[in-house]
Amino acid sequence: MAEPAQPILGSTLLATALAKTEPEFVPVSTSCATLDDALHGGFRYGEITSLAGASGMGKTLISLHAIASHLIAHPAGEAAIIDTTGSFSPLRLRDIIVCRLHQTGLVRYQQSGYVYEKVSVEVKVESLESLRARAAEMLDRVKVMRVFDFAGVIEAIGEARDLCERNDHSSREVETERVHKREEVANSEDEEDEVTFSKEPEDKHAQDKETSSGGSLQMIVVDNIGNLVTNAMSKNQTEGLQPLLKSPLTIPRANDSFSALALLTHSLRILSHLTTSNSLCTLLVNGIVSNTSSTKSSFHGRAYHPSDNVSIFASNSGKPALGRTYTYLIDTSIFLSMVPKTQDDAEVAFGGRTGTLISVGTLEVLKDRYGEREGEWGVFEILEGVELQGVG
């Protein structure tokens, strides 16, 4: 008969939790303290996060800062960018990495037990030439895939899957070889027949870095997912897709919104499986649509309807594009917008007052499938086109 499980003291569980100070996956920082606070540390690995907003709201900038954070935090980590618009700029990403490396008080999050706490990391000040050289080396770990339709997206996801499997296989081979080297059996002719072990390396972190020196794809950014749907609705994209699909189901012709939605659903399901099975941090850049059913209200004559407004700010009448089906296929939905910075700016924007209008960006968490971030929000400013600064 099996014996009952022995009770464990709460103090023992607490000590075990506090001992977990270096998790394998710390959330990816946005480099902005207010946004990281709203996201409880940043973008999570193993989840698909959607960044929705109008043009110029900072969607791509935030995603590039996330890539920079990943590359800096993981010396052997890799990232993939699936570019659907042809707007990716390597110079912009390089400047963002340089900006991040130049910061002397970079804020990161470190796990203490089950809670993420802020830690300040002092970065050594270097010359601009040295920082650019380091940034250029980091760009070697960024893979850019230019695609034009859903067929290209599926091929790009397949390449990412092959890269993850290849890296995982290489890591297992290195670990097996290391175990064999560490364990040595004494010769049977010796006086003492025993098993001896070689001396463990003094720097365990150096050993781990050596194991992961082959690189590992842990982040995917799709910019812009909405552009694919627009293209799918304007022309037929199913030709050439069938050889990529290992399913006997017939994909409808992409000549209307329903067919485009079917292609979107199929692609995101493949991407979701890849994200969860390999613990990737996947970011999807999306646009917004206006609430056509909005009616006028008392907010300075601005047209909106509370039931249709997904934002907590009454002046934001838009909502993420691609509909509810898209929302069901992602894990976290983020809405980006611009609002007046002060009450005086609001009077200039909506009250007819003359003066200079100063706006700030807002980030709102509309959905969080696995956490408690829903309803959180943060305010930020964009400085010189590359830096994110918190407000408030």
Asked if pLDDT for residue 213 goes beyond 70, the answer is: no
- pLDDT value at 318 more than 50: yes
pLDDT tens for 22-36 read: 445 789 999 999 999
Contacts of 256 (CB under 8 A, 6+ apart): 233
Q: What does the pLDDT read at residue 170?
A: 59
pTM of the model: 0.75
Question: Is residue 77 within 8 Å of 216, Cβ to Cβ?
Answer: yes
Residue 10 pLDDT level (bands cut at 50, 70, 90): confident
- Quickly count: other Cβ atoms within 10 Å of residue 300's Cβ: 13
Give the residue, 199 or 362, on which the prediction is more confident: 362
The pLDDT of residue 284 is: 97
What pLDDT digit, counting tens, does each position of 247-289 carry? 444 444 445 677 888 899 999 999 999 999 999 999 999 999 8
| DSSP character string of 316-374 | --EEETTHHHHHHT-SEEEEEEEEESSHHHHHHHHS---S---EEEEEEEEEESSSS-T
Bond prior to 224 in cis (omega within 30° of 0): yes
CA 224 – CA 234 distance, rounded (Å): 16
User: Could you tell me the CA-to-CA distances from 84 to 80, 170, 227, 288 in Å, in that order?
Assistant: 13, 31, 7, 17
Residue 231's pLDDT band (boundaries 50, 70, 90)? confident
3-state secondary structure 285-325: EECEEECCCCCECCCCCCECCCCCCCCCCCCCCEEECCHHH
Residues 6+ apart with CB under 8 A from 9: none
pLDDT at 46: 94
Residue 267 makes CB contacts below 8 A (sequence gap 6+) with 150, 153, 154, 157, 228
| Short-list 67, 57, 59, CA closest to 95 | 67
Structure confidence at residue 14 (pLDDT): 75
Kindly state the average pLDDT of the residues 127-151: 94
Token duo for residue 306: 């509370």
203: confidence class by pLDDT, cuts 50, 70, 90: very low
What's the rounded Cα separation, in Å, for the pair 28 and 9?
Answer: 34
Q: From the CB of residue 1, how many other CB atoms can be counted at a distance below 10 Å?
A: 3
Residue 158 clears pLDDT 50, i.e. is over it: yes
Q: Is residue 84 within 8 Å of 148, Cβ to Cβ?
A: yes
158 near 124, Cβ under 8 Å? no
- 332-340/359-368 β-pairing: antiparallel
Question: Scanning the structure block, which residue is given the tokens 């982040």?
Answer: 219
For 4-8, 31-35, 300-304, 314-318, which range has the lowest pLDDT when averaged over its residues? Answer: 300-304
Residue 111 has pLDDT above 80, yes or no: no
- Locate tokens 């010796």: which residue? 190
